[in-house]
Amino acid sequence: MVEEKKEKKTTPKVKPTDTVRDLKYIKAKSWPQEEYFASGHRACQGCAEALAVRLVLKALGPDVVIANATGCMEIVSSPLPTTSWNVPWIHVAFENTAAVASGLEAGLKALMRKGRLPQKEIKAIGMAGDGGTADIGIQALSGALERGHNMIYFCFDNEAYMNTGIQRSSSTPFGAMTTTSPPGKMSPGQMTWKKNMPEIAAAHGIPYVATACPSYPYDLYEKVKKARAIQGPSYIHILSVCPTGWRIPPDQAIRYGRLAVETGFFPLYEVEQGKYKITIEFPKLRPIKDYIEGQGRFRHLTPDLIAKIQERIFAEYAALKAKAS
């Protein structure tokens, strides 16, 4: 309780942007009651990625076909003979999520043309983790975005290869400890900066790119709805806090998602037809140490390294603001 009070004092007020102002009127109780990602799956306690999937599916509705790469969400949701997926769902290989999703879109179109499916929009969806997106699936993703398929691709970014035991990916942030980026005398942990996947997707000139986080559920919900309505490819990159891999208590996942946004580590923005807009903005960013502190994966970081990370975040945030202004 004491900690919660302290948190209230230091959290800056949200300066509402247009999207956020609109969202004030959306009440969670007006969201669909249907659960397309059923409970009873085997995700770890406090997993924000499972929450993100649940919210995404609510916003998408039932008329979807999902191609889901190997990764935590596939592993926890489909131990034979059970499944948590109440929508059509295909488990695909690690490297070809976007290729399968684009094939699905073409196949659905052909079946409708031949009158073998009702004429309604069934959206093709690709879902993968950061390893399946930023590393091994990037070639198939780039091809699908460039070809202009009517599909949405979701990257659930928990910042490492988690289901296989916390190995680094190109989306792991600088300084983070994983089993393949161990800190020591010669290394700060992860030695490279987080790959900027949303920017890479935006560089394809597709109609819609967004970042989201389940700690801001209304913002996430609205972005998924928007992507659902768009004809052509959309890419949504969702920061998915992973208590197990980040070494935080399970009841802190939502808080760390907020801190990621409040510090500018993971800004929430969208790029619609090339136009940038920051959807959740603060008068002043919180210091990055507020986000780093308490995460076991960063516990070895020295003040020098934290200062280096801070400098990078300010620079990246300023560049984003310049694009959005």
Ligand X SMILES: Cc1ncc(C[n+]2csc(CCOP(=O)(O)OP(=O)(O)O)c2C)c(N)n1
Distance between CA atoms of residues 319 and 214, nearest Å: 24
Candidates 83, 142, 180, 244: give the one binding ligand SF4 (CB under 6 A). 244
Distance between CA atoms of residues 90 and 21, nearest Å: 37
Candidates 76, 127, 151, 209: give the one binding ligand SF4 (CB under 6 A). 76
Closest CA to 267 of 245, 241, 237: 237
Q: How near is the Cβ of 215 to ligand SF4 at its closest, in Å? A: 15
* Choices 126-134, 215-223, 230-238, 303-311; region in contact with Mg ion by CB under 5 A: 126-134
Distance between CA atoms of residues 83 and 99, nearest Å: 23
- Cα–Cα separations (whole angstroms), residue 197 to 142, 203, 236, 270: 11, 10, 10, 13
Residue 19 or 77: the one with the smaller Cβ distance to ligand X is: 77
Candidates 54, 101, 130, 174: give the one binding ligand X (CB under 6 A). 130
Q: Judge contact between 268 and 261, C-beta under 8 A.
A: yes
What residue number has its CB nearest to ligand X? 129
* Choices 43-51, 108-116, 136-144, 267-275; region in contact with ligand SF4 by CB under 6 A: 43-51
Q: Judge contact between 298 and 256, C-beta under 8 A.
A: no
Q: How near is the Cβ of 220 to ligand SF4 at its closest, in Å? A: 16
Candidates 200, 242, 248, 301: give the one binding ligand SF4 (CB under 6 A). 242
Distance between CA atoms of residues 50 and 41, nearest Å: 9
46 phi, psi to nearest 5 deg: 80, 10
Candidates 44, 112, 306, 324: give the one binding ligand SF4 (CB under 6 A). 44
Cβ atoms < 10 Å from Cβ of 296: 13
Candidates 162, 200, 213, 238: give the one binding ligand SF4 (CB under 6 A). 162
Residue 19 or 158: the one with the smaller Cβ distance to ligand SF4 is: 158
| Binding of residue 248 to ligand SF4 (CB under 6 A) | no
Binding mask 90-129 for ligand X (x = CB under 6 A): ----xx--------------------------------xx
Binding mask 147-176 for Mg ion (x = CB under 5 A): -----------x---x--------------
Distance between CA atoms of residues 198 and 271, nearest Å: 9
Distance between CA atoms of residues 218 and 16, nearest Å: 13
Q: How near is the Cβ of 213 to ligand X at its closest, in Å? A: 16
Q: Which residues bind ligand SF4 (CB under 6 A)?
A: 43-44, 47, 49, 72, 76, 158, 162-163, 242-245
